[in-house]
Amino acid sequence: MPKNSKAVKRELDDDVTESVRDLLSNEDACDDSFKKSSLIVDSPEGEGKECDVEEGASDGEEEERPAWNSKLQYILAQVGFSVGLGNVWRFPYLCQKNGGGAYLVPYLILLILIGIPLFFLELAVGQRIRRGSIGVWNYISPRLGGIGFASCVVCFFVALYYNVIISWSLFYFSQSFQQPLPWHECPLVKNKTNVVPECEKSSATTYYWYREALDISNSISEGGGLNWKMTVCLLAAWSMVCLAMIKGIQSSGKVMYFSSLFPYVVLICFLVRALLLKGSIDGIRHMFTPKLEIMLEAKVWREAATQVFFALGLGFGGVIAFSSYNKRDNNCHFDAVLVSFINFFTSVLATLVVFAVLGFKANIMNSKCVALNTNKIVALLGSDIEWSLIPHHINLTQVSQVTAEDYHQMIQIIKGVKEDEYPKLGLQSCSIEDELNQAVQGTGLAFIAFTEAMTHFPASPFWSVMFFLMLINLGLGSMFGTIEGILTPLIDTFKFDTRGVRPAESRLCVAVGCCVLAFSIGLLFVQRSGNYFVTMFDDYSATLPLLIVVVLENVAIAWFYGIDKFFEDLRDMLGFTPYRFYYYMWKYITPILLLLLLCASFIQLTMTPPSYSAWIQEEAVEKTLHFPPWGIAVCISLVVMAMMPVPVVFCLRYFNIIDENTSGLSTVSYKKGRVIKESPRPEDDDDASLIHGKTPSEAPSPMPGKSIYRKQSGGGGTEVDTAPNGRYGIGYLMADMPDIPESDFVGEDCVLFNKSMKAKPSHDLTNNQ
């Protein structure tokens, strides 16, 4: 535009001023809306018509992005995802192993230093950008866009074997409706009166788990064919997940009311019932007796950090996916603190329940041990043991009345008198502490130790049904978040909708396709050697890849995107500035701690040869075996495949094989409820357009008859619309030009941009405000 054309300049300035004022006047009316924005556009005939510009929509035709029906539903979804099977069968084991009650101290410290800051970070980026993990990290830094794809791959690997655990719980649940429970006692050999040798050498619950449920082979190399019972249960498990996910949060959110709350009902009922049983207090006392010297060991802190990391579901993408359906002004800081501490107190509650039940079981086992060894003493009286060594108040004629205290008193006297000969007598110490020190975790706790304890409960079928129904719900809650961490970024990114297909139908196709594929691959885990593959995937498909993913997430925000810019985003989104504590955590402390944890985990994996615990049928014992060469190759492949997207996407962006500025991902800006779609950066010869896929002539104007874009003269006297930098533009910073506040758009001194200036993409979450 000629510099001396004051009349034209004033007319254009008036147009811009009026348009901006019209937009600002509607700002208050949009405060409560966050799902869509209504823009009034000009039709070719000059008639104004309303067009909804929605998140992810290309032509205003798609449906708006789903949203949580209530804050409670969202909190329950996050709690259901973070509180899983690990809280019940991993945390109590770590407490017992790492100093009892003293373990809670390093766990709480690391929860504050690692858990809450990273959980808050994932909630914030998901809520701000309103995309799945792929879209979020591509928007933050296109070269680090592979982080989102890596999260999806890890989620898929975890979902493959996690649902197998749910299928095991379904099998035990279906077998719990009988009295007595089928694992109550060892079965007899067919057509004979003697007990099955494998069961006699182990125990009834151990035999039932390995032989009746899994029908396990002796090694991973012996496939053994499919276990049809577990195949049916796996099909049922994937069917439940699929039905809950086909409509997204609209369907899974309703399921959360039951799947997230029911486990707490069961845990409380179990705790009350267990406290009424003999020996439960012994278990709780053992649990909370602190061993302070163990706290000085580095291994304790490493295991506590790992548990914090996995307990909150960091890096999976489920946290980001769930928060992406939130309102823009939701207080995600409160959510992060609330869910983190709910997770912690759930772990403590589960630990109380586990050790109360294990204390009861230890008391039962100790009573059996006392009776067995008292009979041994009676048999040795008069030969190896003199009658004079037995205290007079102990009546050995009625063995069932001999208490643990009486037995220990006899043992001390016999040991003191026959010190040299005592080991040959074969008498056991029969200590409750020894029983409780037999640490069990994972499937050993849920399907062997706990099931054995429940056989001694009054009304044992009822408690068995409740317990395995709780495990199913805990597993499903985590599975919903894991699958959402796959579906949301895929649907947001690749736009599986085809012409004539509604978004709901396209999501159904993607969800069903994902579940069918996962079930097909999951058949690997329900063959006779399937349990060994579950161990392999659990150890190698998630640990290192997830740690690397979260390290990159933290670095991407703190150093690539900019921690100061991120704090501005949070202040704009939350209405207040978060504590300065998070600034130093995200920028310095948390990355350093994560790198230390990553190095420690890597060293542990490399120093420990890949191995698994195999059940040897003939000997009825567990033995540690090393993976065969092909098994080691699979372990390495799992880690490599999970992390491969990160360097691949980085190289594609870095060498411009895929243009860093044309990612194919549209993004959405949110300003007090208003949604303005941002299109990928156009080529230099193309004209910027508010609606992706429209030419400037076709693109609707935000206001009837007005344009918020400055018209500039182009070659040949043709005027084109270019988007100015600022709140209402398409979000690109002009080269070497500062951000322009709202006030700069109003008045005669409005800045004019030359079309020849090249646009530089901005990845600012605040939309360059």
Q: What is the pLDDT of residues 286-303, one digit of tens each?
A: 888 888 788 888 888 988
d(CA 213, CA 233): 11
Q: Computed from CA positions of residues 687, 688, 689, 693, in that sequence, does the dihedral angle turn out positive or negative?
A: positive
Determine if residue 474 is labeled as part of a ligand binding site: yes
pLDDT value, residue 257: 87
3-state secondary structure of 670: strand
Determine if residue 598 is labeled as part of a ligand binding site: no
pLDDT, tens digit (0-9, with 9 covering 90-100), for 118-146: 999 999 999 999 888 999 999 998 999 99
**Considering the chain, what percentage of its residues have pLDDT values greater than 70?**
76
The residue with greater pLDDT, 15 or 312, is 312
Of the listed ranges 26-35, 172-181, 731-740, the one predicted with least confidence = 731-740
Claim to verify: residue 520 and residue 423 sit in the same structural domain: no
Nearest to 387 by CA among 410, 371, 356, 366: 410
d(CA 135, CA 130): 9
pLDDT at 737 over 70: no
How many domains in the chain?
2
pLDDT value, residue 504: 62
d(CA 700, CA 572): 29
pLDDT value, residue 176: 94
Q: Is residue 405 part of a domain?
A: yes
pLDDT at 341 over 80: yes
Of the listed ranges 431-440, 544-553, 755-764, the one predicted with least confidence = 755-764
Claim to verify: residue 191 and residue 307 sit in the same structural domain: yes
DSSP letter assigned to residue 586: I
- The identity of residue 193, as a single letter, is T
d(CA 661, CA 352): 53
Tokens representing residue 29 in the block? 């009316």
> Of the residues 620, 640, 655, which one is the last residue of a structural domain?
655
**Angle 474-475-477 from CA coordinates, rounded to 5°:** 70
Are residues 437 and 429 in contact, defined by beta-carbon separation less than 8 angstroms?
Answer: no
DSSP letter assigned to residue 576: S
Claim to verify: residue 424 and residue 450 sit in the same structural domain: no
Are residues 493 and 324 in contact, defined by beta-carbon separation less than 8 angstroms?
Answer: no
Claim to verify: residue 555 and residue 577 sit in the same structural domain: yes
Determine if residue 163 is labeled as part of a ligand binding site: no
Q: Is residue 544 part of a domain?
A: yes
Of the listed ranges 208-212, 628-632, 762-766, the one predicted with least confidence = 762-766
pLDDT value, residue 417: 82
Nearest to 173 by CA among 361, 446, 356: 446
pLDDT value, residue 496: 52
Claim to verify: residue 423 and residue 508 sit in the same structural domain: no
The residue with greater pLDDT, 426 or 119, is 119
pLDDT value, residue 64: 64
Helix and strand numbers, DSSP H then E, in the chain: 30, 10
The terminus-to-terminus CA distance of the chain in angstroms comes to 27
CB atoms within 10 A of CB 479: 28
pLDDT at 500 over 60: no
pLDDT, tens digit (0-9, with 9 covering 90-100), for 171-227: 999 999 998 899 998 888 877 778 888 998 888 999 999 999 999 999 999 988 899
pLDDT, tens digit (0-9, with 9 covering 90-100), for 148-170: 999 999 999 999 999 999 999 99
pLDDT, tens digit (0-9, with 9 covering 90-100), for 634-659: 999 999 999 999 999 999 998 888 77
The residue with greater pLDDT, 543 or 148, is 148
Q: Is residue 97 part of a domain?
A: yes
Q: What is the mean pLDDT of the chain?
A: 77
The residue with greater pLDDT, 244 or 674, is 244
Q: Is residue 343 part of a domain?
A: yes
3-state secondary structure of 38: strand
3-state secondary structure of 382: coil
Determine if residue 343 is labeled as part of a ligand binding site: yes
**Considering the chain, what percentage of its residues have pLDDT values greater than 90?**
40
Q: Is residue 537 part of a domain?
A: yes
Claim to verify: residue 451 and residue 568 sit in the same structural domain: yes
> Of the residues 631, 655, 679, which one is the last residue of a structural domain?
655
Claim to verify: residue 549 and residue 635 sit in the same structural domain: yes
pLDDT band, very low/low/confident/very high, at 229 (cuts 50, 70, 90):
very high
Are residues 451 and 205 in contact, defined by beta-carbon separation less than 8 angstroms?
Answer: yes
Of the listed ranges 122-131, 276-285, 401-410, 713-722, the one predicted with least confidence = 713-722
pLDDT value, residue 527: 94
Whose tokens are 């643990």? That residue is: 404
pLDDT at 661 over 80: no
pLDDT value, residue 761: 40
Claim to verify: residue 369 and residue 256 sit in the same structural domain: no
pLDDT value, residue 53: 34
pLDDT band, very low/low/confident/very high, at 101 (cuts 50, 70, 90):
confident
Q: Is residue 670 part of a domain?
A: no
The residue with greater pLDDT, 688 or 551, is 551
SS (H, E, C) 533-578: HHHHHHHHCCHHHHHHHHHHHHHHHHHHHHHHHHHHHHHHHHCCCC
The residue with greater pLDDT, 317 or 685, is 317
What does the pLDDT average to over 54-65? 42
Claim to verify: residue 415 and residue 562 sit in the same structural domain: no
3-state secondary structure of 177: coil
> Of the residues 626, 655, 684, which one is the last residue of a structural domain?
655
pLDDT at 751 over 60: no
DSSP letter assigned to residue 683: P
CA distances from 361 to 203, 431, 454, 477, 637 (A): 14, 13, 9, 29, 42
Claim to verify: residue 433 and residue 447 sit in the same structural domain: no
pLDDT value, residue 581: 94
- The identity of residue 117, as a single letter, is P
pLDDT, tens digit (0-9, with 9 covering 90-100), for 431-490: 888 877 776 777 888 898 889 888 888 889 999 999 999 999 999 999 999 999 999 888
Are residues 32 and 754 in contact, defined by beta-carbon separation less than 8 angstroms?
Answer: no
The parent domain of residue 232 ranges over 72-280+297-356+443-655
38, burial (CB in 10 Å: exposed 0-12, middle 13-18, buried 19+): middle
Query: What CATH number is attached to the domain comprising 328?
Result: 1.20.1740
Claim to verify: residue 166 and residue 305 sit in the same structural domain: yes
Determine if residue 338 is labeled as part of a ligand binding site: no
pLDDT band, very low/low/confident/very high, at 502 (cuts 50, 70, 90):
low
Pairing of strands 48-54, 36-42: antiparallel
The residue with greater pLDDT, 424 or 625, is 625
Claim to verify: residue 302 and residue 340 sit in the same structural domain: yes
Determine if residue 83 is labeled as part of a ligand binding site: yes
Q: Is residue 175 part of a domain?
A: yes
Q: Is residue 38 part of a domain?
A: no
Of the listed ranges 331-345, 475-489, 491-505, 635-649, the one predicted with least confidence = 491-505
